[in-house]
C-alpha cells in the first residue's frame, strides 16, 4: 500500500506488512504518532510500540494486542485501532479530549517471534519461541510469565504445555520489555491487554479469589464498556474478574499491572462466532475492531474523567 489509507484492514497481514504499516502511519502523522522500540524479542525482532501524543509529560494509556500469536484477529484489530486513533484525533470530540490529556501507547504485535512462526511454520503457535533447556518443547506462555502469583495454580511447569509459565517471572524478553517500560514510564493510568477468543472483558484478579480493592468501580466500568460494545452488532460479552469469569490463572499480565498501581487494568477476549475459534474469517476483522473500539473508548474516557 502507498499509504495507510490504501491498507486493507479487512484481511490478515504478515509481520513485515504490519511493520510497514506502522512506519507509514508515523510518516503520515509526524505531529501525532511516533514509534518507540521498547526492546527485542528472543529472536532479535524489534518490539515496536506506537506512541500517540499531543504534548509532553502526559500520563499514559497502554493497549497491547496479540501476546498470544495465533490469535490473529487481535493484531488485526490493533492495526485498525492505530488508524482509527490517527484518523479520529481532531475529528472525534471524545478521542480528542483523551489525547489532549493522555498519551496512548499501542503495541500491535506483542509476540513477534510467535506471530512470525504462525505465518511460516505453525498457524497454531501460541507461546514465545525461546527454547527451554532440557526440553524438546519451545516457548513460554507470556500471559503466565508475570510476577503476580507467578508459579501458582492456573499455570503449568511443563514446557510442553500451552500454559507453561517459564523458569522465572519476566524470563521472556517480550514480557520484560513491557515491565521495564511500565516501571520506567511510571505514570500509566490504564492498561488494556487484548486477546481472543470467547467474548469477555475481565479485570483483576486471576491468581487469587480476593477481590481487588477497586472491584466495584472496575465492574461498573466493565458493564458500561460491554453495553457500548454490544450496542453495535449485538455481540454478547461476559464480564467480571478473571478468576470468577474464566478460571484461576497465575502470572497474568493485568494482575501485575494492577499490583503496580495501574487501577484501570483490563483484558479482553474478542469475538467467538462458535464456528471458527482462532481462525476467524477476515471479514470479521473490521466488525470485531469496531465493536471493541466502543468498549475501549468507555475505558479511556472513564480514565480521563477519574484521575487518581
Instruction: State the nearest-atom distance from the C-beta of 185 to another protein, in Å.
Output: 34
Residue from 71, 172, 269, 291 carrying the catalytic annotation? 269
Q: What is the per-residue binding string for another protein in 54-93, x denoting contact by CB under 8 A?
A: ----------------------------------------
* Part in contact with another protein (CB under 8 A); list of ranges 53-61, 81-89, 255-263, 275-283: 275-283
Q: What is the largest CA-CA distance in the chain?
A: 55
Q: How many separate helices (H) and strands (E) can be counted in the chain?
A: 9, 8
* Part in contact with another protein (CB under 8 A); list of ranges 175-183, 185-193, 276-284, 300-308: 276-284
Any idea which residue has 466502543 for its cell? 294
The total of other beta-carbon atoms located within 10 Å of residue 263's CB is 19
* Element holding 288 (H helix, E strand): helix 285-305
Q: Which of 35, 282, 286, 287 binds another protein (CB under 8 A)?
A: 282
- Compute the distance between CA of residue 81 and CA of residue 9 in angstroms, rounded to an integer: 10
Instruction: State the nearest-atom distance from the C-beta of 277 to another protein, in Å.
Output: 5
Those residues with Cβ within 8 angstroms of residue 17's Cβ, 6 or more apart along the chain or in another chain: none
- Compute the distance between CA of residue 41 and CA of residue 88 in angstroms, rounded to an integer: 31
The answer to whether 6 contacts another protein (rule: CB under 8 A) is yes
End-to-end CA distance of the chain: 42
Q: Which of 162, 214, 217, 259 binds another protein (CB under 8 A)?
A: 162
- Compute the distance between CA of residue 173 and CA of residue 164 in angstroms, rounded to an integer: 15
CB 77 within 8 A of CB 285: yes
Question: From the centroid of its chain, how far is CA 21?
Answer: 18
Between 68 and 170, name the residue whose CB sits nearer to another protein.
Answer: 68
The answer to whether 213 contacts another protein (rule: CB under 8 A) is no
Between 37 and 137, name the residue whose CB sits nearer to another protein.
Answer: 137
* Part in contact with another protein (CB under 8 A); list of ranges 83-91, 218-226, 274-282, 292-300: 274-282
* Part in contact with another protein (CB under 8 A); list of ranges 80-88, 220-228, 273-281, 298-306: 273-281
- Compute the distance between CA of residue 233 and CA of residue 287 in angstroms, rounded to an integer: 8
Task: List the one residue out of 240, 230, 238, 246 whose CA is nearest residue 292.
Answer: 230
The answer to whether 247 contacts another protein (rule: CB under 8 A) is yes
Between 123 and 213, name the residue whose CB sits nearer to another protein.
Answer: 123
The answer to whether 160 contacts another protein (rule: CB under 8 A) is yes
Residues 102-141 touching another protein, rule: CB under 8 A, are 120-124
- Compute the distance between CA of residue 241 and CA of residue 176 in angstroms, rounded to an integer: 24
Question: Catalytic site residue 269?
Answer: yes
Q: Which of 39, 59, 277, 287 binds another protein (CB under 8 A)?
A: 277
- Compute the distance between CA of residue 250 and CA of residue 247 in angstroms, rounded to an integer: 10
Interface positions with another protein (CB under 8 A): 1, 6, 8, 11-13, 120-124, 160, 162, 198, 246-247, 274-279, 281-282
Catalytic site positions: 269
Amino acid at each position: 500500500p502507498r499509504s495507510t489509507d490504501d491498507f486493507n484492514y479487512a484481511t490478515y497481514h504478515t509481520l513485515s506488512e504490519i511493520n510497514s504499516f506502522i512506519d507509514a502511519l508515523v510518516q503520515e502523522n509526524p505531529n501525532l504518532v511516533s514509534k518507540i522500540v521498547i526492546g527485542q524479542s528472543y529472536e532479535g525482532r524489534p518490539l515496536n510500540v506506537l506512541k500517540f501524543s499531543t504534548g509532553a509529560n502526559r500520563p499514559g494509556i497502554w493497549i497491547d494486542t496479540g501476546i498470544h500469536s495465533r490469535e490473529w484477529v487481535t493484531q488485526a484489530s490493533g492495526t485498525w485501532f492505530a488508524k482509527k486513533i490517527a484518523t479520529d484525533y481532531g475529528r472525534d470530540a471524545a478521542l480528542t479530549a483523551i489525547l489532549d490529556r493522555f498519551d496512548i501507547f499501542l503495541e500491535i504485535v506483542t509476540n513477534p517471534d510467535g506471530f512470525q512462526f504462525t505465518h511460516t511454520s505453525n498457524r497454531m503457535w501460541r507461546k514465545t519461541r525461546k527454547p527451554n533447556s532440557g526440553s524438546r518443547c519451545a516457548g513460554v506462555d507470556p500471559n503466565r510469565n508475570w510476577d503476580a502469583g507467578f508459579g501458582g495454580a492456573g499455570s503449568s511447569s511443563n514446557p510442553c504445555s500451552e500454559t507453561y509459565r517459564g523458569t522465572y517471572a519476566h524470563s521472556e524478553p517480550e514480557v520484560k520489555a513491557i515491565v521495564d517500560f511500565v516501571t520506567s514510564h511510571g505514570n500509566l493510568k490504564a492498561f488494556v491487554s487484548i486477546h481472543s477468543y470467547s467474548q469477555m472483558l475481565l479485570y483483576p484478579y486471576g491468581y487469587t479469589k480476593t477481590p481487588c480493592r477497586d472491584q466495584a468501580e472496575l465492574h461498573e466500568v466493565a458493564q458500561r464498556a460491554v453495553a457500548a460494545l454490544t450496542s453495535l452488532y449485538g455481540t454478547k460479552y461476559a464480564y467480571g474478574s478473571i478468576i470468577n469469569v474464566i478460571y484461576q490463572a497465575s502470572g497474568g499480565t493485568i494482575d501485575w499491572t494492577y499490583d503496580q498501581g495501574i487501577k484501570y487494568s483490563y483484558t479482553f477476549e474478542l469475538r467467538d462466532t462458535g464456528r471458527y475459534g482462532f481462525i476467524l474469517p477476515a471479514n470479521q476483522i473490521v466488525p470485531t475492531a469496531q465493536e471493541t473500539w466502543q468498549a475501549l473508548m468507555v475505558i479511556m474516557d472513564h480514565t480521563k474523567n477519574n484521575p487518581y
